[in-house]
Chain A
Amino acid sequence: DAGITQSPRHKVTETGTPVTLRCHQTENHRYMYWYRQDPGHGLRLIHYSYGVKDTDKGEVSDGYSVSRSKTEDFLLTLESATSSQTSVYFCAISEGPNGYEQYFGPGTRLTVT
């Protein structure tokens, strides 16, 4: 299995609080991605990174920000959590962009009350 960890694995937080999720990889892959998965939807891309300090928005980026200061870490921040951000968040890594397989971390279950 690819060396990807996510922390925390579970979190319950209140509306309006900031939340940061961490993705850590030991594969030295250049590309990292944050997805969310909700019932009735496929996985949807939030943000991605194509290198240290290089990030871009995905399909559902509103309300989220990211940072990547090291190759191995990609942080997802919810500046002010809302109930609509209750979801399962997956991080993924890839050696390259198009045509390369992506490997997923174990996920973080976030509940915003």
Chain B
Amino acid sequence: RKEVEQDPGPFNVPEGATVAFNCTYSNSASQSFFWYRQDCRKEPKLLMSVYSSGNEDGRFTAQLNRASQYISLLIRDSKLSDSATYLCVVNLRGSQGNLIFGKGTKLSVKP
């Protein structure tokens, strides 16, 4: 079983739509959780950390369910500029910061 699994997509949505990405992780020792976005041929950029209580940053909401080992990202009112690949990332306890990346979910927002 892969350590971090994501639906590869692509998700094709119209502007203004709400889109949700899901991610599951296999290692219960996972301690920290993040969502990164990566534009084509660019470096990953941190979108947001994911906290146990869930957290929101503008149009973006992240949720964590430790019991189910599941992470989600919700994007409301999608913009054309949200088109990118979204990477689910976990960090194992005691791993010295070794991040485990999912392969990413590609989002394309259309006019």
Contacts and interface: CB of A to CB of B under 8 A. Distances in A.
Contacts of A102: 46, 97, 99
Contacts of B42: 106-107
B45 interface: yes
Given A99-B31, A104-B45, A107-B43, A48 B103 contact: no
A43 B97 contact: no
Name the residue among A31, A42, A94 with the largest chain B CB count within 10 angstroms. Answer: A42
Contact of B43 (A45, A97, A100, A106): A106
Contacts of B94: 98
A90 B32 contact: no
A91 B93 CA distance: 21
Contact of B32 (A42, A43, A99, A103): A99
Contacts, number: 63
B4 interface: yes
A97 B44 contact: no
Given A90-B44, A101-B49, A103-B46, A40 B103 contact: yes
Contacts of A96: 97
A56 interface: yes
Nearest to A4: B43
Interface in B7-55: 31-32, 34, 42-46, 49
Given A42-B87, A103-B46, A97 B101 contact: no
Which applies to chain B's interface (DSSP): helix, strand, loop or mixed? strand
Interface in A7-45: 31, 33, 40-45
Interface string A45-77: 100101000001011000000000000000000
Given A59-B98, A98-B93, A102-B46, 16 more contacts: A31-B96, A42-B102, A42-B104, A43-B87, A48-B96, A48-B97, A90-B43, A97-B97, A98-B97, A99-B32, A100-B32, A101-B34, A101-B46, A104-B44, A106-B43, A107-B42
